[in-house]
Amino acid sequence: MKAFLTVCALAAGLIGPVMTGTAARAAEPLHLPPPTGRYAVGATDVYLKDTSRPDPWVPEQTARELMVTLWYPTNTRHGTRAEFLSAEESRLLVEGKHVPVTPPEIFSTVRRYAIAGAKPAGSPHSLPLIVLSPGWTQPIAALTGLAEDLASHGYVVAGINHTYETHAITFPDGRILGCAACALDDDRTFFGRLYRSRAADTSFVIDRLTGPDPAWRGSRLIDARRIGAAGHSAGGASAIASLVADPRIDAAIDVDGTTDSGGDPVVPATGLSRPVLVLTGADHLPGGHDRWLTADFASLTGWKRWIAVDGADHASFTDFGILADQLGIDIGATTPGARVSEITRRHVRAMFDEHLRHRPQPPLNEASDRYPEVSIVAR
């Protein structure tokens, strides 16, 4: 399971011709596709501290600290763009995941679109909230393109950097915390603990954004009656675990994540009636190698879809699939990263538009000539 979940093919897949990648970067800066919605996007980082529980990976830390990136609509269209990663975060990620790219600060150069610290815009209690979780050992930056796109279509997106679960998270006081949990992931029950911990993180973030003493100045924009959870890989499995644990969450999306927890199924035997979308590569199908996700999907009793994308690699569903293409690095995908990103954005947004905004979405229900790579493989 560790090989399947060591997950970003950022480590498993960025193993191609590094010199070609460096030359490509010199010709054109690394960049993400622009958001497709009508709103400009702002981004800000928020520090949260949950004093009700110790950190699950460093128990001597008596509170769980989190850094959360918020993406949201804004009327501000000019200003300093938010960072993808700092130079030090990039270096620690590259070294921690043994990624063969130079210079190690390369991911600090990625161009993104959100305006740092822009004033949130919208009517009170009008914007659905999406809580986003990255893959195991990944920073939330890996899902920046998806988050910016959702925000440009009128969502507030809260991306959680799960502390001690990636190689570099920077806190306001200057601390940079690494992957303490990486020393524990050979334990058979590790990922079950991870999913439960991330579900607790998700519920706490919802509390702090929608409760009586909100942690963010734009919290008044959030419609607490419309909340979704999504994530990639272990973050996708955690989104389903969050849906099980928190009745405030209305729908969840698992992007290419196994639900092997090393113990009980993620979906209880009594079933789960709220909507779930599973989005995977065409090598990750019902009845295939992932018997855990197959079983959990079968236990879902409400609206559900399993959609597969031909030619996608595991990392293709993250920004690192796009960046690998720009660096000239082969991650094993036959469909370009920008195309998989377009498909992912469209289907993730369709899921939340249908189930949080109640707008019927054809891509979730029928084959489309626009997306010939996409198949609905189970429902």
Token pair of 53 as six digits: 């529980």
Domains of the chain from N-terminus onward: 2-378 (3.40.50.1820)
pLDDT for 20 beyond 50: no
Task: Identify any residues that bridge with 309 across adjacent strands, giving them in sequence order.
Answer: 281, 374
Return all residues near 85 (Cβ < 8 A) that are at least 6 apart: 93, 107, 108, 110, 139, 141, 168
Residue 128 host element (H or E): strand 127-133
Mean pLDDT for all residues in the chain: 93
* 25 vs 272: which has the higher pLDDT: 272
pLDDT for 13 beyond 50: no
Per the listing, tokens 């690699």 go with: 313
pLDDT band at 54 (very low <50, low <70, confident <90, very high): very high
Closest alpha carbon to 135 in 225, 44, 257: 257
- 256 contacts 232 by C-beta, under 8 angstroms: yes
pLDDT for 243 beyond 50: yes
pLDDT for 27 beyond 70: no
**277-301: per-residue pLDDT in tens?**
999 999 999 999 999 999 999 999 9
Angle, helices 18-27/319-326, rounded to nearest 10 degrees: 90
Per the listing, tokens 């018997």 go with: 291
pLDDT for 51 beyond 70: yes
Identify the pLDDT of residue 100.
80
Closest alpha carbon to 303 in 251, 359, 358, 360: 251
Identify the pLDDT of residue 99.
84
Token pair of 108 as six digits: 């600090």
**55-65: per-residue pLDDT in tens?**
999 999 999 99
Peptide bond before residue 103 is cis, with ω within 30 degrees of 0:
yes
Task: Identify any residues that bridge with 41 across adjacent strands, giving them in sequence order.
Answer: 73
- The stretch 256-275 carries a mean pLDDT of 96
pLDDT band at 260 (very low <50, low <70, confident <90, very high): very high
Give first-to-last CA distance, the chain, whole Å. Answer: 26
Token pair of 96 as six digits: 């921690």
- 348 contacts 150 by C-beta, under 8 angstroms: yes
Identify the pLDDT of residue 28.
78
Angle, helices 319-326/337-356, rounded to nearest 10 degrees: 160
**127-169: per-residue pLDDT in tens?**
999 999 999 999 999 999 999 999 999 999 999 999 999 999 9
**195-206: per-residue pLDDT in tens?**
999 999 999 999
pLDDT band at 313 (very low <50, low <70, confident <90, very high): very high
- 251 contacts 272 by C-beta, under 8 angstroms: no
Closest alpha carbon to 249 in 215, 225, 278: 225
Residue 27 host element (H or E): helix 18-27
pLDDT for 184 beyond 60: yes
pLDDT for 7 beyond 70: no
**107-116: per-residue pLDDT in tens?**
999 999 999 9
